[in-house]
Amino acid sequence: MQTSNVFHAPRFGAYFKKHIVDNLRLYLMSLVVLVGVLVAIGVISILTNNRETVRVSFIYPFYAILLFGAGLIFTGFSFIQLGDKPKGIDYLLLPASHFEKFLTTLLITTAGFLLVYHIAFGTATFIGAGLVSLSRDTHVMDPSMPDDFRNDMTQLYHWWFMGQAIILLGSVYFPKYSIIKTLFAVFIFILVIGLVNAAFMNILFYGHLMHWAASAPFFGVGITEHPHMEEYRSIFLESPHWMRETLYFMWRFILPPVLWVLAYFRLKDKEI
């Protein structure tokens, strides 16, 4: 029977296994370093703050910063092999489909990373709180959650997936120094959007803008009413609610998968 050239479960399984075997040592070392760093940061910050109890709101910034830091650095190395000719040849010529190779990377940098990160963070919190509790002879963790915690976490993950998708796409385009190059490309992209938007706003609201750059792309523009009167008022014209909601929806749910698809097609077109 002819097997699919796009996805074949046993071949995908074999490729996934190969990927793990090839990178197991690196992954384990990274995990140990991550737990070590988390424990060190946790213990030092608890001890230096001299708090009696540690709330979730205190841990949250560490959780978020390291989630982004470690996750995006990890994703940045996704296609590092394409920057090295021998490794790139080995990668591209291994008889698995581009989809299977890409899916492996996507699963490892999203589900795999999040799973390992939470295990590492939980372990580090347990070890760190345990050490401090032992030294003070009292229980230091306060498990109560702030009211808006769930919303904060949801927002955090939307931003994380967006960042992950951008870095993943960047790592296919720039296998070497991918994070720096991707961030630079994002900066240029935002700058261009901002300048184009400012140019359009200056044309559309000529003579009425509060300032030449008083506009936020997709969100609105700051203008002055009756600029010749002595007392005038400035207002911020917002784009329609439905438009902002649509853009926000797209930002959260459409853009990350679109960037993944772009990364996949870029991988298919990769030459060495």
Partner 1 sequence: MITIQDLHFHYKKGRPLFEGLNLELEAGHVYGLMGKNGAGKSSLLKQIAGLLFPKSGVCTVMGYESRLRQPAFLSKLFLVPEEFYLPQVTINRYVNTYAPFYPNFDTKAFQQYLDEFQIPRDQRLTDMSYGQKKKVIISFGLAANTKCLIMDEPTNGLDIPSKSQFRKVIAAAVNEEKCIVISTHQVRDLDNLIDSIVVIDNHKIIFKQDVETVAERLSFRSVKRLEEADLVLFAESTGLGHSIITENAGGVPGRLDMELLFNAVLEPSGRINQLF
* 3-state per-residue secondary structure call for 88-151: HHHHHHCCCCHHHHHHHHHHHHHHHHHHHHHHHHHHHHHHHHHHHHHHHCCCCEECCCCCCHHH
Residue of the chain from 55, 64, 77, 84 that contacts partner 1 (CB under 8 A): 84
| Contact between 172 and 263 (Cβ < 8 Å) | yes
Binding mask 86-125 for partner 1 (x = CB under 8 A): xx-xx-xxxxxxx-x-------------------------
Which residues are CB-neighbours of 93 under 8 A, at least 6 positions away?
A: none
Is there binding between residue 50 and partner 1 (CB under 8 A)?
no
Q: Which is nearer to partner 1, 102 or 161 (CB)?
A: 102
- Of 48-56, 78-86, 164-172, 204-212: span binding partner 1 (CB under 8 A): 78-86
Q: Name the minimum Å distance from CB 105 to partner 1.
A: 16
Q: Which is nearer to partner 1, 23 or 151 (CB)?
A: 23
Could you identify the residue written with the tokens 């841990």?
Answer: 59
Q: How many positions of this chain bind partner 1 (CB under 8 A)?
A: 30
Q: Look at strands 54-55 and 141-142 and give their pairing.
A: parallel
| Contact between 194 and 217 (Cβ < 8 Å) | yes
Q: Which is nearer to partner 1, 86 or 143 (CB)?
A: 86
Q: Which is nearer to partner 1, 92 or 179 (CB)?
A: 92
Buried b (16+ CB within 10 A) or exposed e, 6-41: eebeebbeebbeebeeeeeeebeebeeebbeebbee
6: phi then psi, degrees, rounded to nearest 5? -105, -55
Q: Name the minimum Å distance from CB 131 to partner 1.
A: 35
Binding mask 10-49 for partner 1 (x = CB under 8 A): -x--xx-xx--xx--x------------------------
Task: List contacts with partner 1 (CB under 8 A).
Answer: 2-3, 5, 8, 11, 14-15, 17-18, 21-22, 25, 84-87, 89-90, 92-98, 100, 268-269, 271-272
